[in-house]
Amino acid sequence: MAEPLKLQESWRAPLADQLASPQMSALKAFLLAERAAGKTIFPRGSEWFRALDLTPLDQVRVVILGQDPYHGPGQAHGLAFSVRPGVRVPPSLVNIYKELQTDLGIAPARHGFLEHWARQGVLLLNTCLTVEQGRAGSHQGHGWEGFTDAVIRLVAARAPSCVFLLWGNHAQKKAGFVDGNRHLLLKAPHPSPLSAYSGFFGCRHFSRSSDWLVSHGMPPIDWALPPA
């Protein structure tokens, strides 16, 4: 596991107790054992905390919650829903782009690289930060969930006001403790092709997020992605 010192400065001290917990020690042992067994883990170790590195705690304005990293070669790089440049845009992200176009008239990007969002204060956080190649959900229940709960609690406690985009039951349960009187909680079905037509399409979360940020004295998110 990456050492705490490699974590972005604004997160390092607030998460120090969590990183030093027995739960995280057990997670480290699990990951080391998986590597020793010759298993391929995504993303690479330097990108496990990429979402936190790109979006400092004091800059978080929007939180988008995912589940696992993508488990195919070359896809995951530490941001929920995002893939590396040159990688085919995954189906859920295709549907996110469709809703973005309907909502704000932004043409779908030809890539799935979402760092532009992350650098503006959109925390693209997965529940688990690692996965074994080809085995979705393989690292669930080994300790990442407690760590990412701690991240969400920090944002909920420290940010004066923040937008949580909660797509699907998993994300909605994950952020179930966030104060909806202080923060804006926008809920919709997951953008997966299996559920997008059940209410994700037409949710207008992108414009609603930006309108709410502006009403609270913050600049809107530029959701249009530049070429990768």
Amino acid symbol at 162: C
Of these residues, 17, 53, 58, 68, which one is catalytic? 68
Q: Which residue has the tokens 């092709």?
A: 193
CA–CA dist 205, 185 (Å, integer): 10
Write the CA distances from 34 to 39, 127, 128, integer angstroms.
6, 19, 15
In a 10 Å sphere around its CB, with 0-12 CB exposed, 13-18 middle and 19+ buried, how is residue 33 labelled? Answer: exposed
- Report helix, strand and coil shares of the chain as percent, to nearest 5: 40, 10, 50
Structure tokens belonging to residue 103: 């909502």
3 state SS of 123: strand
CA–CA dist 183, 225 (Å, integer): 26
103 is catalytic: no
CA–CA dist 139, 190 (Å, integer): 21
Structure tokens belonging to residue 19: 């990183």
Strand ranges (E), 98-207:
122-126, 131-132, 163-167, 184-188
Residues acting as catalytic residues:
68
